[in-house]
């Protein structure tokens, strides 16, 4: 007679003094009859956003179908070719002026994930639309401790001027909980770690003090970890060990960033403790935190902005000392275009890291990437022209028909892709933003 074991509760946590840890999704959390069913595993959504558009000749493949050649900007994605689809021709009609005063970034950035026309205002009466990630988060309800996680690199206190006639709220983030409530982006890895693993029984100052003393959250939950391990099978114990190792590695990186000497650039920016002064380390740390949050099933929805729209960051580490935003208005100057292309490729390298981290993180017999829809894009295609009708879009993950370049009719609403994505994530909706129907090319051959 077959014995059906009771599943371990998805609400099971590791608890210790001043700390709690959610668990990764384990085989023990599924009924025995469903443990091998890939379709029973949770689906996830991740969005990776780069600001200030693109040098499209370096991004867009010339051939369509499976035989396309990766152009220079996309070359970092070569290891993931089978899991990606490049989609050309998508645009955002709602980013058009429609009688409003000239502006580009202030309308295009809020349209990116909402498919909505932003109200022209510099005041508190902002309005756009509910973003795709928040539609999915609402569909999931309370399935995870956090509905979503919005991460980025730029702190609000570091921001410069915003687009003329448009509030900074339109360019600081891409997630909108409601048409009038944009969600703030968190750029401090220590604050993110505390949000993921802090315990309400200990005040924030106390928890931060624990980290500064080089303590590990794992030290506080060790006894609970040992107890749980005795209830798990070999595969689950291995997965738990991987998760705990990843958590400890991230802790150490956050601790190092808090004590490392600041560079002159970082000192000028007055970065709060916890933000590395090295840009690459900061980006990778935030990406790794986003992946850790998915691995622990703390959330299944995340967005990441490698820079706010209108970012003036410079990149001397790759030989680009000039402002990103200024280079995006290159006037077809070959030298400026070459510098912008370097930034575009640099950002793509981090997206490749994002995909690799998900691919390396186990989820049952597969990986996190196998059950995640990943969207990578910008609010503009040709940045010099503020072209919002031919966007640089890459989709990835196991929910996508990969290994190809698809060209749709130029100006096809990006909302069609997001509608198809929501359907692939099992959200039963027939309309999103200004969609005219789901983009069949997302999942069809």
Residue 47, pLDDT score: 98
Helix axes 132-140, 414-424, angle to 10 degrees: 20
As a whole number, mean pLDDT of residues 287-312 equals 93
The rounded percent of the chain whose pLDDT value lies above 70 is 75
Residue that has been written with the tokens 């077809």 in this structure: 332
Q: Which residues pair with 45 in a beta bridge?
A: 301, 373
Q: Do 171 and 82 have their domain in common?
A: yes
Q: Tell me: do 260 and 290 sit in the same domain.
A: no
- Based on the domain organization, do 405 and 281 belong to the same domain? yes
Q: pLDDT tens for residues 45-60?
A: 999 999 999 999 999 9
Domain boundary among 241, 271, 301: 271
Does the residue 94 lie in any domain? yes
Whether 192 is in a domain gets the answer: no
DSSP string, 11-46: T-EEEETTEEEEPP--GGGS-GGGTT-GGGSPPEEE
What is the pLDDT confidence band of residue 296, given thresholds at 50, 70 and 90? confident
Looking at residue 8, what is its pLDDT? 57
Please tell me whether residues 288 and 235 are part of one structural domain: no
Q: Residue 137: name the closest of 53, 42, 70 by CA.
A: 42
50 & 141 share domain: yes
Tell me, yes or no, whether 198 lies in a domain: no
The rounded distance, in Å, linking the Cα atoms of 162 and 147 is 29
- pLDDT at 75 > cutoff 50: yes
Name the pLDDT band for 365 (thresholds 50, 70, 90).
Answer: confident
Query: Contact at 8 Å (CB) between 186 and 192?
Result: yes
Residue 445 and residue 272: Cα distance in Å, rounded?
48
Q: How much is the pTM?
A: 0.83
Q: Per residue in 80-95, pLDDT tens?
A: 999 999 999 999 999 9
Give CA–CA dist 417/357, Å, rounded.
Answer: 24
Position with higher pLDDT, 340 vs 296: 340
pLDDT at 348: 98
pLDDT digits (tens, 9 = 90+) for 158-171: 443 478 788 889 99
> In the structure, what pLDDT confidence band is assigned to residue 345 with cuts at 50, 70 and 90?
very high
Choose between 367 and 240: higher pLDDT.
367
The total of structural domains in the chain comes to 2
| CA separation for the pair 89, 354 (Å, rounded) | 24
Contact 128, 110 (CB under 8 A): yes
Residues 75 and 13 in one domain: no
Stated length of the chain: 445
pLDDT in tens, 228-267: 666 666 767 766 777 777 676 777 777 766 554 444 333 3
Strands 181-182 and 176-178: antiparallel
Q: Which of 249, 271, 293 is the last residue of a domain?
A: 271
Shared-domain flag, residues 23 and 54: no
pLDDT of residue 14: 54
Higher-pLDDT residue of 412, 26? 412
Residue 42 main-chain phi, psi, to 5 deg: -65, 145
Mean pLDDT lowest for which of 10-19, 75-84, 173-182, 238-247? 10-19
CA 250/CA 7 separation, integer angstroms:
30
Domain interval for residue 106: 44-187+275-442
% of residues, the chain, pLDDT over 90: 59
pLDDT at residue 31 is higher than 70: no
Residues 224 and 170 in one domain: no
Report yes or no on 8 lying in a domain: yes
- The CATH number for 370's domain is 3.40.720.10
C-alpha 297/C-alpha 356 separation (Å) is: 18
- Tokens representing 44 are 């996830």
Buried b (16+ CB within 10 A) or exposed e, 141-151: eeebbbbbbbb
pLDDT confidence band for 100 (50 / 70 / 90): confident
- C-alpha span between 210 and 2 (Å, rounded): 48
β-partners of residue 87 are: 393, 406
Rounded CA-CA distance 117/362 in Å is 40
C-beta of residue 19 within 8 angstroms of C-beta of residue 197: yes
Q: What three-state secondary structure class fits 222?
A: helix
3-state secondary structure of 410: strand
Query: Is 285 inside any structural domain?
Result: yes
H or E, element range at 137: helix 132-140
Domain boundary residue, one of 218, 239, 271:
271
Q: Confidence class of residue 15 from pLDDT cuts 50, 70 and 90?
A: low
The whole-chain average pLDDT of the chain stands at 83
Q: Indicate if 267 and 279 belong to the same structural domain.
A: no
CA–CA distance from 405 to each of 64, 74, 389, 397, 441 (Å)?
A: 5, 12, 18, 15, 10
pLDDT tens for 199-213 read 444 444 444 444 444
Cβ within 8 Å of residue 149, ≥6 positions away: 186, 192, 290, 293, 298, 299, 301, 302, 303
The answer, yes or no, to whether residue 273 has pLDDT greater than 60, is no
Q: Do 250 and 347 share a domain, yes or no? A: no
β-strand 181-182 against 301-305: which pairing, if any?
Answer: unpaired
């Amino acid at each position: 007679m077959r014995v059906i074991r009771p599943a371990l509760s998805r609400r099971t946590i590791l608890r210790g003094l001043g700390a709690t840890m959610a668990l990764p999704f384990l085989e023990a959390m599924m009924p025995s009859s469903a443990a091998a069913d890939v379709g029973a595993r949770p689906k996830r959504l991740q969005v990776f956003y780069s600001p200030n558009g693109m040098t499209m000749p370096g991004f867009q493949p010339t051939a369509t179908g499976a035989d396309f050649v990766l152009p220079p900007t996309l070359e970092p994605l070569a290891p993931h070719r089978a899991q990606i689809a490049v989609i050309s021709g998508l645009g955002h009609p709602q980013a058009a002026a429609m009688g409003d005063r000239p502006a580009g970034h202030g309308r295009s950035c809020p349209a990116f994930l909402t498919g909505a026309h932003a109200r022209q205002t510099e005041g508190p009466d902002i309005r756009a639309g509910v973003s795709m990630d928040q539609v999915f988060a609402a569909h999931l309800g309370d399935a995870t401790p956090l509905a979503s996680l919005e991460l980025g690199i730029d702190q609000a206190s570091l921001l410069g001027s915003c687009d003329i006639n448009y509030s900074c709220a339109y360019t600081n983030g891409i997630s909108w909980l409601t048409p009038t409530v944009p969600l703030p982006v968190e750029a401090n890895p220590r604050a993110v770690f505390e949000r993921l693993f802090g315990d309400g029984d200990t005040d924030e100052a106390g928890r931060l003090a624990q980290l500064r003393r080089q303590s590990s959250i794992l030290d506080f939950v060790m006894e609970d970890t040992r107890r749980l391990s005795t209830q798990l099978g070999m595969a689950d114990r291995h997965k738990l060990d991987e998760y705990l190792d990843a958590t400890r590695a991230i802790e150490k990186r956050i601790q190092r960033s808090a004590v490392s000497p600041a560079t002159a650039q970082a000192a000028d920016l007055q970065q709060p403790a916890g933000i590395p002064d090295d840009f690459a380390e900061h980006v990778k740390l935030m990406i790794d935190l986003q992946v850790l949050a998915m691995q622990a099933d703390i959330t299944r929805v995340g967005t990441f902005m490698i820079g706010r729209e209108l970012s003036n960051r410079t990149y001397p580490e790759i030989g680009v000392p000039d402002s990103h935003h200024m280079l995006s208005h290159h006037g077809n100057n070959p030298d400026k275009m070459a510098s912008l292309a370097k930034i575009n490729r640099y950002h793509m390298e981090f997206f490749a890291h994002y995909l690799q981290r998900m691919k390396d993180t186990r989820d049952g017999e597969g990986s996190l990437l196998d059950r995640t829809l990943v969207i990578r894009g910008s609010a503009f295609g040709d940045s010099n022209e503020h072209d919002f009708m031919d966007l640089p879009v890459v989709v990835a993950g196991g929910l996508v028909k990969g290994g190809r370049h698809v060209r749709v009719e130029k100006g096809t609403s990006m909302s069609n892709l997001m509608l198809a994505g929501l359907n692939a994530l099992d959200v039963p909706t027939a309309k999103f933003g200004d969609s005219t129907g789901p983009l069949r090319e997302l999942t069809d051959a």
